[in-house]
């Protein structure tokens, strides 16, 4: 990480002189990156470890902005988690403003006589540093006027949240002028912090200086929005098609690790679990087995995985979306075999987790692409190809003499070679208790769910229980949108009524309507995304079977 001398950051002469007096020689990385951004007026999320100089990273620009703007009243508000940190920041500002007489700073925190603070505030301060509770106190008493505020800084945001200040922070932020610069600094980043920044920061620049930063850029990343109940099937299918052994699966809880280990073992995978409740000896045993190369999949919590040194992981699964964004980076950083880029699969369920996923993408500056769970046919095809490969290699390389002898004996007893081979294949494919075939009924579940969330390339593979298939459609990559209407079986509605109404009222061809599902009370059907608005509009102005309908985008949450 390149650092710059303070003199190259556009800092004014009097502040430069103060920095000299303090004795800082060069700006630290976080200072190098954030000072110019903050001076340009941008909202910024700054993350770097403790002790990397975050205080000066925001106090210097706060001072510079005030020198530039000549504003009256409180111009900058710095919110700190503790009295000590507030005093520290205040001291730093006083040192930095040693040569800029006009600028005054007030520190307000609990435990100090409020009257004294009121006096100081009355004296006029352009910068106020304080703890959340006391800031709110002064706001309520009207002893702190923030009407002219131009800049709000949340310092040590992770600390503030872990100390339970979230509500206070939100109350303060909701009550300061909207036209302002908002800045947040923190040593660590979390979902909760991103929620706050999403709400109160405007198009923030994320500046992250993490030591030994893992880059996720070279890792292929996919996500699947599926119900929780389908995750095990999804893991199995992805394992069967990608063959990432060894894979690593991350869960958020110990309980989930235990459950998943059992479930994967039942499906015939060699699975081992790792979590914080295990004794050291048990963990060592798991790690030794894992390193011996006999394990297909290691399932772990973040905490348990932290200390272990594993590499050469074929794929990382985020069975649960990580609670801390930094975990995501650590988790998927484990994948990637020597010289090869890695692959990571993340499962999300519902729109809230989709939101968390988007935050992770922003935070890591990376693309997580929407993946499609392989169909049972694709899983079978993959197994078949691997099997064919295995047979070919054995025939070419192994000494099969004694086996050939056994087969010839069997064939001599009247069983056909094809039957013998089929029986052996069955043994092979169901070895270790694996089910021979993935269940095609789960295809529908994955497909149904994917579609419900709007986007999915249609393959027209479904042709069961009253569902229409849409082989007819030529473009296989149209994004479909599911629409619902409030008429179901109880109203006597049938697919032909829906197809008829849509085709008649909108002119879109009946064959471009995707799957239709009719439940007791309502019906749903898929239409190409670009036609959805027109279809809903038309249906809302017409009658089906003599009844008015309300058509809307179908959104079922899991
Ligand atoms: P953080 O908030 O990131 O934990 P601080 O702002 O408290 O870090 O700074 C940690 C220490 O580093 C302080 O003693 C501070 O004076 C010092 N420091 C800050 N910036 C510099 C710099 N550019 N050069 C040398 N020391 C610095
Ligand atoms: Mg700090």
Pair (41, 178) in one structural domain = yes
Tokens of 157: 């945001």
Contact predicate 155/107, CB 8 Å: no
Cα–ligand 2 centroid distance for 558 (angstroms): 40
Higher-confidence residue of 289 and 214: namely 289
| Residue where a domain terminates, one of 208, 241, 276 | 208
| CATH number of the domain encompassing residue 544 | 3.30.70.330
Ligand closest to CA 49: 1
Checking if the pLDDT of 330 tops 60, the result is yes
Atom of ligand 1 nearest to the CA of 185: 2
54: CA distance to ligand 1 center in Å? 7
Task: Give me the residues near ligand 2 (ion), CB cutoff below 5 Å.
Answer: 54
More confident residue, 44 or 520: 44
* pLDDT at residue 556 in the model: 59
Q: Are residues 34 and 112 in the same domain?
A: yes
- Ligand nearest the Cα atom of residue 22: 1
Q: Does residue 458 fall inside a structural domain?
A: no
Contact 189, 325 (CB under 8 A): yes
Query: What is the predicted pLDDT for the residue at 257?
Result: 95
Separation of CA 332 and ligand 2 centre (Å): 29
Residue 44, burial from CB neighbour count under 10 angstroms (0-12, 13-18, 19+) = buried
Which one, of 463, 454, 558, 475, lies nearest residue 516 by Cα?
463
DSSP symbols for 107-133: EE-TTS-HHHHHHHHHT--SEEEE-HH
The residue whose CA is least distant from atom 26 of ligand 1 is 24
Q: Are residues 77 and 40 in the same domain?
A: yes
Has residue 456 been placed in a domain?
Answer: no
Task: Answer yes or no: do 31 and 170 share one domain.
Answer: yes
- Rounded to the nearest 10°, the torsion over CA 155, 161, 167, 172 is 0
pLDDT at 46: 96
**Candidate from 221-235, 456-470, 537-551 with smallest mean pLDDT:** 456-470
Please state at what angle helix 132-140 crosses helix 114-122, rounded to 10 degrees: 70
- What confidence category does residue 1 fall into, taking pLDDT thresholds of 50, 70 and 90? low
pLDDT at 475 over 50: no
Domain that holds residue 338: 219-374
Average pLDDT (403-419) is 91
Predicted confidence at residue 301, as pLDDT, reads: 92
pLDDT of residue 337: 60
Least confident of 54-63, 113-122, 158-167, 329-338: 329-338
What is the number of structural domains in the chain? Answer: 4
The answer to whether the CB of 1 falls within 8 A of the CB of 209 is yes
- Asked if residue 547 belongs to a domain, the reply is yes
507 and 520 in a single domain? The answer is yes
CATH number assigned to the domain comprising residue 92: 3.40.50.300
Residue 402 lies in a domain: yes
For ligand 2, the distance from its centroid to the CA atom of residue 54, given in whole angstroms, is 5
What pLDDT, on a 0 to 100 scale, did the predictor assign at position 369?
94
Nearest-atom index, ligand 1, CA of 24: 24
Closest ligand to the CA of 59: 1
159-168, 439-448, 518-527: least confident range: 439-448
> 447 or 290, which is more confident?
290
Same domain, 105 and 127: yes
Q: How many CB atoms lie within 10 A of CB 391?
A: 14
Q: How far is the CA of 172 from the centre of ligand 2 (A)?
A: 20
347 and 248 in a single domain? The answer is yes
Task: Note whether residue 513 is domain-resident.
Answer: yes
Ligand 1 atom nearest residue 25's Cα: 24
Instruction: Please identify, by atom number, the ligand 1 atom nearest to the C-alpha of residue 31.
Output: 23
Are residues 29 and 159 located together in one domain of the fold?
yes
Task: Give the pocket of ligand 1 (CB within 6 Å).
Answer: 24, 27-28, 31, 50-56
**Cβ(346)–Cβ(370) below 8 Å:** no
Question: Same structural domain for residues 201 and 245?
Answer: no
Six-digit token string for 330:
């650590």
Q: Do 259 and 176 share a structural domain? A: no
Q: Are residues 20 and 153 in the same domain?
A: yes
Q: Atom 5 (ligand 1): residue with closest C-alpha? A: 53
Task: Provide the 3-class DSSP secondary structure of residue 347.
Answer: strand
Contacts of 423 (CB under 8 A, 6+ apart): none
pLDDT tens sequence across 372-388? 999 988 998 888 888 88
pLDDT tens per residue across span 239-256: 999 999 899 999 999 999
Last residue of a domain, one of 356, 374, 392: 374
Note the pLDDT of residue 292.
Answer: 87
Peptide bond before 531: cis, by omega within 30 degrees of 0? no
Same domain, yes or no: 90 and 138: yes
pLDDT at 479 over 80: no
Using 50, 70 and 90 to split pLDDT, how confident is the model at 194?
Answer: very high
pLDDT in tens, 198-218: 999 999 999 998 764 445 667
> Residue 449: inside a domain, yes or no?
no
**Predicted local confidence at residue 340, as pLDDT:** 66
* Residue 73, pLDDT above cutoff 90: yes
Average pLDDT, the chain: 86
Distance CA 95, CA 110 (A): 23
Pick the atom of ligand 1 nearest to 49's CA.
3
Looking at all shown ligands, the one closest to residue 209's CA atom is 1
Residue nearest to atom 25 of ligand 1 (CA): 24
Arithmetic mean of pLDDT, 277-296? 88
As a whole-number percent, the residues of the chain with pLDDT over 90 amount to: 50
Closest CA to 485 of 434, 536, 556: 536
> CA 250, 329, 324: angle at the middle one, nearest 5?
70
Instruction: Tell me what pLDDT residue 449 has.
Output: 47
Laid out side by side, the sheet with 271-274 consists of 271-274, 297-301, 247-251, 315-318, 343-348, 220-225, 369-370
pLDDT per position as a tens digit, 482-496: 899 989 988 888 888
Does residue 267 lie within any of the structural domains?
yes
Instruction: Give per-residue pLDDT as tens, 418-469.
Output: 999 989 888 877 776 665 567 776 777 776 544 433 333 333 333 333 333 3
Question: How many whole angstroms separate alpha carbon 10 and alpha carbon 13?
Answer: 9
Helix (H) or strand (E) holding 235: helix 231-242
Residue 412 has pLDDT above 50, yes or no: yes
305 CA to centre of ligand 2 in angstroms: 28
Q: How far is the CA of 28 from the centre of ligand 1 (A)?
A: 8
Predicted confidence at residue 307, as pLDDT, reads 67
Cα Rg of the chain (Å, integer): 31
Q: How far apart are CA 314 and CA 244, in angstroms?
A: 4
Q: Is the pLDDT of residue 151 over 70?
A: yes
pLDDT score, position 471:
35
- Model pLDDT, residue 397: 87
Q: Which DSSP state fits 431?
A: G
Ligand nearest to the CA of 47: 1
**237: in domain:** yes
């Amino acid at each position: 990480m390149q650092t710059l001398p303070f003199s190259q950051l556009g800092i004014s002469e009097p502040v430069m002189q103060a920095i000299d007096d303090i004795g800082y020689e060069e700006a630290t990385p976080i200072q190098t990156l954030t000072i110019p951004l903050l001076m340009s007026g941008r909202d910024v999320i700054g993350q770097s470890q403790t002790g990397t100089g975050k205080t000066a990273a925001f106090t210097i620009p706060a001072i510079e902005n005030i020198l530039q703007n000549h504003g009256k009243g409180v111009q900058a508000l710095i919110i700190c988690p503790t009295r000590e940190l507030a005093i520290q920041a205040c001291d730093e500002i006083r040192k930095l403003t040693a040569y800029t007489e006009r600028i005054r700073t007030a520190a307000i925190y609990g435990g100090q006589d409020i009257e004294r603070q009121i006096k100081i505030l009355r004296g006029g301060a352009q910068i106020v540093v304080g703890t959340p509770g006391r800031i709110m106190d002064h706001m309520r008493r009207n002893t702190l006027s923030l009407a002219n505020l131009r800049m709000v800084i949340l310092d040590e945001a992770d600390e503030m949240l872990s100390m339970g200040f979230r509500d206070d922070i939100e109350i303060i932020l909701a009550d300061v002028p909207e036209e302002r610069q908002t800045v947040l600094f923190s040593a660590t980043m979390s979902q909760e912090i991103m929620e706050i920044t999403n709400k109160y920061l405007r198009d923030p620049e994320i500046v992250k200086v993490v030591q030994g930063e893992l880059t996720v850029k070279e890792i292929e990343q996919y996500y699947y929005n599926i119900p929780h109940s389908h995750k095990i099937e999804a893991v199995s299918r992805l394992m069967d098609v990608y063959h990432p052994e060894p894979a690593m699966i991350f869960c958020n809880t110990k309980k989930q690790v235990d459950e998943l280990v059992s479930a994967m073992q039942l499906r015939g995978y060699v699975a081992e679990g790792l979590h914080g409740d295990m004794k050291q000896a048990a963990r060592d045993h798991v790690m030794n087995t894992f390193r011996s190369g006999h394990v297909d999949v290691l399932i772990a919590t973040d905490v348990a995985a932290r200390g272990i040194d594993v590499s050469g992981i074929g794929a990382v699964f985020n069975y649960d979306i990580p609670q801390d964004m930094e975990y995501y980076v650590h988790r998927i950083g484990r994948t990637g075999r020597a010289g090869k880029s890695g692959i990571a699969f993340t499962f999300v369920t519902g729109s809230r987790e989709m939101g968390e996923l988007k935050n992770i993408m922003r935070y890591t500056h990376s693309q997580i692409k929407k993946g499609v769970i392989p169909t049972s046919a694709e899983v079978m095809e993959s197994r078949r190809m691997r099997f064919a490969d295995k047979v070919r290699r054995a025939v070419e390389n192994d000494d099969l003499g004694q086996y050939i002898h056994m087969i010839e004996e069997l064939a001599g007893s009247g069983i056909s070679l094809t039957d013998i081979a089929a029986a052996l294949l069955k043994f092979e494919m169901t070895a270790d208790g694996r089910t021979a075939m993935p269940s095609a009924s789960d295809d529908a579940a994955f497909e149904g769910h994917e579609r419900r969330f709007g986007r999915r390339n249609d393959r027209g593979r479904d042709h069961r229980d009253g569902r229409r298939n849409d082989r007819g459609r030529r473009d296989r990559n149209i994004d479909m949108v599911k629409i619902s209407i409030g008429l179901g079986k109880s109203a006597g509605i049938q697919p032909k009524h829906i197809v008829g109404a849509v085709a008649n009222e909108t002119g879109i061809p009946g064959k471009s309507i995707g799957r239709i599902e009719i439940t007791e009370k309502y019906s749903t059907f898929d239409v190409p995304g670009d036609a959805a608005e027109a279809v809903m509009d038309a249906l809302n102005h017409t009658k089906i079977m003599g009844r008015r309908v309300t058509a809307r985008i179908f959104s079922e949450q899991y």
